[in-house]
Amino acid sequence: MSKILVTGGTGYIGSHTVVELLNAGHEAVIIDNLSNSEAAVLDGIEQITGKRPPFYQEDVRNRTAVQGIFTDHPDISAVIHFAAFKAVGESVMKPLAYYGNNLDSTINLLECMLAANVPFFVFSSSCTVYGQPDELPVSESAPIKQAESPYGNTKQMCEDILRNVAAATELQAISLRYFNPVGAHESALIGELPRGVPNNLMPFITQTAIGKREKLTVFGDDYNTPDGSGVRDYIHVVDLAKAHVKACERLIAGDNKKSIEFFNLGTGRGYSVLEVIRAFERVNGVKLNYVIGPRRAGDIEKVYADTSLSNNELGWKAELGLDEMVASAWKWEQRLGS
């Protein structure tokens, strides 16, 4: 049993990860400034697990606050760093806010944890670092492409920071490159909290289905894919969360092969936008109002993960399929709407 500090632990992926850490017998300590989440998420975590982790409503950039957590909890073994701004479009409009938050929080956290002799660090990265890969499925050794947005660039820069710090210090890091996280906990007690008009496909689908949006636009049906719509590797957020538990356990057990490792987190299976829509309609018995529109600027055609490294090394494999993803996303939307 280990105690893990989770930054951004009341957020979408963080809250599901806290649940999986607690389910696996670990303890969690959460720091989140609630810039994109609510304290009520702690109630959901408690209802699911029967435990309420210590919570610090603080900014990860605040050195005194982070140092204070390591002082309060000298038995913290590892850190999972979710806290970041994540809206791609907003990052284009507010690059300094994104570089400031995503880089400064990472640097401050690394300094504090190394000072506290906590060397194990799990980082939230993204498949966006690959851009449109030359080969599919894309493996971790694929070249990193020029970032499409300041947000994507912060992920690449943080990976570089981790590489440099791991080479120079005791840091042992795992960077997890998420494909497209969707869905919610089966209890519908935690999920993704929408902010404004969603950019991502799944929340747009569920909000259209419940009547918050008039219609969904499919961004292009002339891609070089089986039905012409874009293909992505959607991954259930609960599967994603479980991979973080494995990553912490690997570091703490000393099973990592290098001081920094990178793992793709996807299912290895790509689905098109139209396939997701059809699955949503079939599984939930709901008709979706959608139209075909033009391509969205900056979108890639298709991407899906080579998961062999995470399967073999992390001992992790996504277990939930598209049906569970669309069912849980719908259940969560209905709960939000009620």
Residue 217 binding target from ligand UD1, ligand NAD, none, CB below 5 to 8 Å by type: ligand UD1
Told to check if 77 binds ligand NAD by CB under 6 A, we report no
Told to check if 218 binds ligand UD1 by CB under 6 A, we report yes
Told to check if 91 binds ligand UD1 by CB under 6 A, we report no
Told to check if 266 binds ligand UD1 by CB under 6 A, we report no
Stretch that binds ligand NAD, among 8-16, 68-76, 226-234, 273-281 (CB under 6 A): 8-16
Tokens of 8: 């951004």
Least gap, CB of 193 to ligand NAD (angstroms): 7
- Residue 176 CA to residue 307 CA, distance in Å, equals 12
Selecting among 12, 56, 130, 151, the annotated active-site residue is: 151
Q: Which of 10, 105, 128, 267 binds ligand UD1 (CB under 6 A)?
A: 128
C-beta of residue 236 within 8 angstroms of C-beta of residue 227: no
CA distances from 242 to 203, 263, 265, 267, 315 (A): 22, 13, 10, 13, 11
Nearer to ligand UD1, 88 or 209 (CB): 88
Site for ligand NAD in 17-56 (CB under 6 A): 31-37
Least gap, CB of 55 to ligand UD1 (angstroms): 26
Q: Name every residue whose Cβ is closer than 8 Å to that of residue 171 and which is 6 or more positions away in sequence.
A: 110, 114, 119, 121, 162, 165, 259, 260
Told to check if 5 binds ligand NAD by CB under 6 A, we report no
Residue 204 binding target from ligand UD1, ligand NAD, none, CB below 5 to 8 Å by type: ligand UD1
Told to check if 219 binds ligand UD1 by CB under 6 A, we report yes
Tokens of 306: 């080579």
Examine the residue annotation and report whether 178 is marked as an active-site residue of this protein.
no
Told to check if 299 binds ligand UD1 by CB under 6 A, we report yes
- The dihedral over CA atoms of 123, 15, 21, 166, expressed in degrees to the nearest 10, equals 10
- How many C-beta atoms lie closer than 10 Å to residue 233's C-beta? 25
CA distances from 140 to 84, 239, 270, 314 (A): 22, 19, 17, 14
x/- track of binding to ligand NAD for residues 115-144 (CB under 6 A): ---------x-x------------------
Told to check if 82 binds ligand NAD by CB under 6 A, we report yes
The closest alpha carbon to 280, from 233, 221, 333, 231, belongs to 333
Told to check if 326 binds ligand UD1 by CB under 6 A, we report no
Q: How many chain residues interact with ligand UD1 (CB under 6 A)?
A: 20
Q: Which of 79, 83, 201, 243 binds ligand NAD (CB under 6 A)?
A: 83
Nearer to ligand NAD, 84 or 171 (CB): 84
Nearer to ligand NAD, 70 or 178 (CB): 178
Interaction site with ligand UD1 (CB under 6 A): 88, 126-128, 152, 180, 199-201, 204, 216-219, 230, 232, 273, 296, 298-299
Q: Which residues are catalytic?
A: 151
Interaction site with ligand NAD (CB under 6 A): 8, 10-14, 31-37, 59-61, 82-84, 86, 101, 105, 124, 126, 178, 181
